[in-house]
C-alpha cells in the first residue's frame, strides 16, 4: 500500500484530505504543529477507513523538523510517495500595518514549507519512478487578497513553484499539481458572522460556501491514476466565485 503524507492535517482541509486518501486506499501520515489531540482524531478516522496511519509533529517551515518528520514516517509507516502540502496560515492585516516579522512568518509557513517537504519527498519518488505531489494554493493567489498581501503573495508563489517543479520531475513519473480553494468552511472563516459571510460570499454561483470535503475530492483525483497526464496544473474549487 502507498503512503501519503498530509501536512497541516489536524483540522480543516488537511484533515479532510487525510480521511479521503485513507478511503482511497492510502496509509496516511498526519502532520500537525501543535494540536496533537486534533491530529489523533484525524488518525482515528483514517483507521476507521481500514488504513494504517501515524501522527507526526513538525513545524514544516523548519527544514530540520521536516527531516525528522520524514524519518519518523519512513520508520513507522513507510516511504511517502504521495505528498499533500496543505499547511498554511492566513493572518489578515492591512498592508500599512504589515511588519517584516508578519511577512516572514507567512512566507516561511506557506512557501518555505513547500520547498522543505518536496526536498525530502522527491528523491524517494524519483527512485520509485512514481509519485504525486499536490500543493494547496488559494483562489486569492489569483484574485488578490484584501488585508492579505503576504498571504496572496505566497499562494501565487505556490502556483509558480508547482509549475516549475512539475517540469523538472515529470519525466520521473512524478506528477506535481495544485488545488486552489475558494471560500471554505474552515477556521479562517470563524471570525465572520453569518451576515458577514452572506455579504461577502453570497454571490457564489454554486449557492454555498465550500466544504473541506470539496477540496479533498480534487486532491483525491490528482493523486489517482486518472490524473497521470495532468502536469503542473491547478484545479480551482470555488463554486464559480472566481469567474463572476
Active-site residue numbers? 151
CA atoms within 13 A on the CB side of 136: 31
Q: Which three cell numbers stand for residue 124?
A: 524517494
Q: Is beta strand 131-136 parallel, antiparallel or unpaired with respect to 80-85?
A: parallel
Contact 133, 177 (CB under 8 A): yes
Of the candidates 90, 92, 86, the residue with the CA atom closest to the CA atom of residue 9: 86
The Cα–Cα gap between 156 and 133 comes to: 17
Q: Which helix (H) or strand (E) holds 14?
A: helix 12-23
- φ/ψ of residue 8, rounded to 5: 60, 45
Report how far residue 138's alpha carbon sits from residue 92's, in angstroms, rounded to the nearest whole number.
14
The answer to whether the Cα torsion of 115, 117, 121, 123 is positive or negative is positive
For residue 110, give the C-alpha cell. 506557506
Shortest CA distance to 133 belongs to which of 78, 178, 74, 68?
178
Question: Which grid cell is 102?
Answer: 508578519
Amino acid at each position: 500500500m502507498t503512503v501519503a503524507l498530509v501536512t497541516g492535517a489536524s483540522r480543516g482541509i488537511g484533515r479532510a484530505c487525510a480521511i479521503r486518501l485513507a478511503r482511497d486506499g492510502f496509509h496516511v501520515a498526519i502532520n500537525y504543529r501543535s494540536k496533537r489531540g486534533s491530529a489523533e482524531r484525524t488518525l482515528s478516522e483514517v483507521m476507521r477507513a481500514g488504513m494504517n496511519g501515524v501522527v507526526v509533529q513538525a513545524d514544516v517551515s523548519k527544514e530540520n523538523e521536516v527531516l525528522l518528520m520524514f524519518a519518523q514516517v519512513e520508520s513507522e509507516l513507510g516511504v511517502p510517495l504521495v505528498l499533500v502540502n496543505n499547511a498554511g496560515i492566513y493572518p489578515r492585516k492591512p498592508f500599512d500595518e504589515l511588519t517584516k516579522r508578519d511577512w516572514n512568518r507567512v512566507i516561511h509557513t506557506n512557501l518555505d514549507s513547500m520547498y522543505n517537504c518536496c526536498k525530502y519527498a522527491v528523491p524517494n519518488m524519483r527512485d520509485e519512478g512514481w509519485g504525486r505531489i499536490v500543493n494547496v494554493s488559494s483562489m486569492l493567489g489569483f484574485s488578490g487578497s484584501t488585508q492579505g498581501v503576504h498571504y496572496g503573495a505566497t499562494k501565487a508563489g505556490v502556483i509558480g513553484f508547482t509549475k516549475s517543479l512539475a517540469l523538472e520531475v515529470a519525466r520521473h513519473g512524478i506528477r506535481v499539481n495544485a488545488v486552489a480553494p475558494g471560500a471554505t468552511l474552515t477556521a479562517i472563516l470563524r471570525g465572520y458572522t453569518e451576515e458577514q459571510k452572506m455579504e461577502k460570499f453570497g454571490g457564489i454561483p454554486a449557492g454555498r460556501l465550500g466544504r473541506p470535503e470539496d477540496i479533498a475530492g480534487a486532491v483525491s483525483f490528482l493523486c489517482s491514476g486518472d490524473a497521470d497526464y495532468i502536469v503542473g496544473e491547478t484545479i480551482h474549487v470555488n463554486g464559480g466565485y472566481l469567474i463572476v
